[in-house]
Amino acid sequence: MRRLRAWFLLPGATIMAVLFFAPLLIVVLYSFLSRGAYGGVELPWTASSYTRVFDSLYLAILWRSIWVSALSTAICALLGFPLALYIARAGSNRTLLLNLVMLPFWTSFLIRIYAWMFLLRDTGLINSFLLAVHVIRQPLPLLFNTGAVILGLVYGYLPFMVLPLYATVEKLDPSLLDAAADLGASPAITVWKVIVPLSKPGILAGSLLVFIPCLGAYLTADLMGGGKSVMIGNVVQNQFTTSRDWPFGAAISLLLMAVALLVTRVIGRKGEQLL
């Protein structure tokens, strides 16, 4: 087995070494360099980017980003689980239904966000409809708040939850569920006591795939949130664009990665290992 395993590891390891570790090393170097006058980096070496990161301002933003991302992930899991279960049990239509979950995501993210902005704005479809049927008198403030940001994140990353969930739920033996039913378990109990524990690897993988990109997201906060609040992803983005402070951007990113690593390790310990 050892031989075969080594060959199996080779392509992945090569890709990671060349296309991830080498660039990562550059990021680490950047974080210890000085800001170039017009972007880029220059000598001398310094750790000042790191001393700037540990500041209540950025830590507060980080904390906010973590809970917004965690909430979005939880909602994705709640929404995604029954959907994955339904698809997995749809017999010969499974692939079709799975593909139909993915289809909307082959339209640009930006364009879908614009569509949501149109639905949610004061003169948008939802408010116009509610006004027309006299349910409300004033347009509801649906857009440009944290709720809208979370909606955008959930919509944007739901398939990242559904796919791994599907991959595990699909494997479950239907006879297991019948057995539970025969033993008198109600459907809800079957789901909670049998299906959920058995699909834990999928739930964890999905949560990771949703939580991490949410943490780094910036466009959703800018457009759905109207730029009135920042996520840590916006701070990073700004350093590489308008502020042109690459060392600071690199330092925040490394901090972000460290936090995310910590979070996933905690999840990983509790359940099984994720990877």
Partner 1 sequence: MKRFLALYASVAYAFLYVPLLVLGAFSFNASRIAVWQGFTWQWYRNVFRNEALLDGTIHSVVIALGATILATASGTLAAYAIWKRSAPLLTNSLYLSLLTPEIVTGVSLLAFFQWAFRYLHLQLGLDTVILAHVSFCLAYVVLVVIARLRTMDSSFEEAALDLGATEWQAFRHVTLPLLWPGIVAAALLCFTVSFDDYVVTSLVAGVNSETLPMMIYAMARRGVSPEVNALSVLITVALGALILLAGRLERR
Partner 2 sequence: MNRRTFLLGSAAVATACTSAAKRRLNVYNWENYVAGSTIPDFEREFDCRVRYATYGSAEEMLAKVMSGNSGWDVVFPSNSFVQPMRELGLLARLDHSLLSNLHNVADRFQAPEWDPQLNFCVPYMHSATGILYSKSVSRLPLAWSDLWTDSYQRRVTMLDDPAEVFGACLKRLGASINSGNPVELRHARDLAIQEKPLLRAYLNEEVRDQVVAGDVLVAQMWAQVAQVAMDNSSNLAFSFPSEGFALYADNASILRESKHQQLAHEFLNYLLRPNVAAKICEEMRTASANGAARSILPKSLRENAVLYPPAKVLARGEWFRAIPAAPQRLRDRYWTEIKAA
Interface residue with partner 1 among 89, 193, 228, 269 (CB under 8 A) is 89
Cα–Cα distance for residue pair 157/167, rounded to 1 Å? 17
Rg, C-alpha atoms of the chain = 23
* Closest CB to partner 1 among residues 150, 212: 212
Q: Which two tokens stand for residue 70?
A: 């965690």
Choice from 16, 25, 57, 103 touching partner 2 (CB under 8 A): 57
205 in contact with partner 1 (CB under 8 A): yes
Window 114 to 173, contacts with partner 2 (CB under 8 A): 114, 117-118, 121-123, 144
161 makes contact with partner 1 (CB under 8 A): no
**Given the complex with partner 2, which of 39 and 271 has the nearer CB atom?**
39
Q: State the binding partner of 172 from partner 1, partner 2, none, CB within 5 to 8 A by kind.
A: partner 1
Specify the DSSP element, H or E, that contains 251.
Answer: helix 246-270
Q: Is 104 in the site for partner 1 (CB under 8 A)?
A: yes
Interactions with partner 1, residue window 206-225 (CB under 8 A): 208-209, 212-213, 215-216, 218
Of the candidates 150, 151, 143, 163, the one whose C-alpha atom is nearest the C-alpha of residue 99 is 163
Nearer to partner 1, 48 or 128 (CB): 128
Question: How far apart (Å, rounded) are the C-alpha atoms in residues 152 and 73?
Answer: 12
Separation of alpha carbons 63 and 259, rounded Å: 10
Phi, psi of 80 (to 5 degrees): -80, -30
109 forms part of the interface with partner 2 (CB under 8 A): no
Q: Does 19 bind partner 2 (CB under 8 A)?
A: no
| Alpha carbon distance 53, 47 (integer Å) | 10
Angstrom distance (rounded) from CA 60 to CA 54: 10
Contacts to partner 2 by CB under 8 A: 35, 37-40, 57-58, 60-61, 114, 117-118, 121-123, 144, 222-223, 225-230, 234-235, 238-245
